[in-house]
Amino acid sequence: MPFVTIDGQALHYIDQGTGPAVLLAGSYLWDQAMWAPQIAALTQQYRVVALDLWGHGESGPLPVGTTSLDDIARQALVLLDHLDIERVTLVGLSVGGMWGVRLALSAAQRINGLVLMDTYVGAEPEPTRQYYFSLLKQIEEAGVITPALLDIVVPIFFRPGIDPQSALYRDFRASLAALPSERLRESIVPMGRITFGRSDLLPRLGELDAATTLVMCGDQDQPRPPSEAREMAESIGCPWLLVPGAGHISNLENPEFVTKTLLEFLADRA
């Protein structure tokens, strides 16, 4: 499996297909496998790179000194340099969009297009931030995501009313339950604090290229509701659309719609 050492740790990624480059940046608590439906389709025409966040999937622990989403964006640029990718279309979902915007602002010359999915680059609203921090503290203290915490955390990612017996729901719950204490305390919890303690980037959204940016959001996304997607799109001046029948992980709850939209967006960039 391909790895690159960045800031002293091994970052895992996949690199498949040929053609214009696409970088898929996924959600907190998910690894690159979350993009499987899109990877299968996009690699027919594009070179697709997807990475595992630190402490997620096959990647190593959060490197010492990584304290902000700006650090994550810088590390992603190191990956692109390692792969000799000069320009890329970045598709960022949730935290992938949060650091993806930071990459686009810091290295605009490297971006062909930007798709922001189920994400928000404003500061986390204070009540929500305090709530998420309290959950992270409980996980840190327990060294495990307990069944009671799983009952709280897992539904956040899906549309209300999803069948809890579905493979998507059960597999995600099982993956969280299996996370070892060391990984939770060294990487997952700190990465959560970086994510939910992020600075406000809304005032800089106007610097993005509206002509090559798209905002998408599950129409039933609870943690990142459509109102936030609309707010960002209006600040950028770009189109935005809702993914029907989808919650936060919209690319897996309605993969056909998301894949079709991405292929249309990419065709316009070629």
Residue 73 lies in a domain: yes
Instruction: Compute the mean pLDDT over every residue in the chain, rounded to the nearest whole number.
Output: 98
| Stretch 169-185: mean pLDDT | 98
Neighbours of 184 (CB within 10 A): 21
Residue 28's nearest CA partner among 148, 118, 146 is 118
Per residue in 156-171, pLDDT (tens digit) is: 999 999 999 999 999 9
162 CA to centre of own chain? 21
Residue 37 lies in a domain: yes
Residue 236's nearest CA partner among 123, 120, 129, 125 is 120
How many independent structural domains does the chain possess? 1
**Amino acid at the residue 160:** P
| Stretch 185-194: mean pLDDT | 98
Q: Which residues contact 232 (CB under 8 A, 6 or more apart)?
A: 116, 120, 121, 122, 202, 205, 215, 240
d(CA 56, CA 184): 10
Full residue range of the structural domain in which residue 258 is found: 3-122+200-269
Per residue in 120-132, pLDDT (tens digit) is: 999 999 999 999 9
Q: Contact 254/244 with Cβ under 8 angstroms? A: yes
How many angstroms separate the Cα of 124 from the Cα of each of 121, 142, 171, 259?
Answer: 8, 25, 28, 28
pLDDT value, residue 207? 98
Buried/exposed code over 250-267 (b: 16+ C-beta within 10 A; e: otherwise)? bbbbbbebbbebbeebbe
Q: What is the pTM of this model?
A: 0.98
Per residue in 75-115, pLDDT (tens digit) is: 999 999 999 999 999 999 999 999 999 999 999 999 999 99
Q: Contact 263/39 with Cβ under 8 angstroms? A: no
Residue 173 lies in a domain: no
pLDDT value, residue 132? 98
Residue 162 lies in a domain: no
For residue 213, list its beta bridge partners: 114
| Stretch 198-218: mean pLDDT | 98
Residue 127 lies in a domain: no
pLDDT value, residue 269? 78
- Strands ordered across the beta sheet of 21-25: 3-6, 9-16, 47-51, 21-25, 88-93, 111-117, 213-218, 240-243
> Would you mind telling me the total number of residues written for the chain in this entry?
270
CATH number reported for the structural domain that contains residue 58 in this entry: 3.40.50.1820
Residue 265 lies in a domain: yes
Q: Which residues contact 114 (CB under 8 A, 6 or more apart)?
A: 89, 90, 92, 100, 101, 104, 208, 209, 212, 213, 214
**What band does 270 get if pLDDT is binned at 50, 70 and 90?**
low
Residue 213 lies in a domain: yes
Q: Is the pLDDT of residue 1 over 90?
A: no
Largest CA distance in the chain: 49
Per residue in 17-68, pLDDT (tens digit) is: 999 999 999 999 999 999 999 999 999 999 999 999 999 999 999 999 999 9
Per residue in 224-265, pLDDT (tens digit) is: 999 999 999 999 999 999 999 999 999 999 999 999 999 999
Residue 147 lies in a domain: no
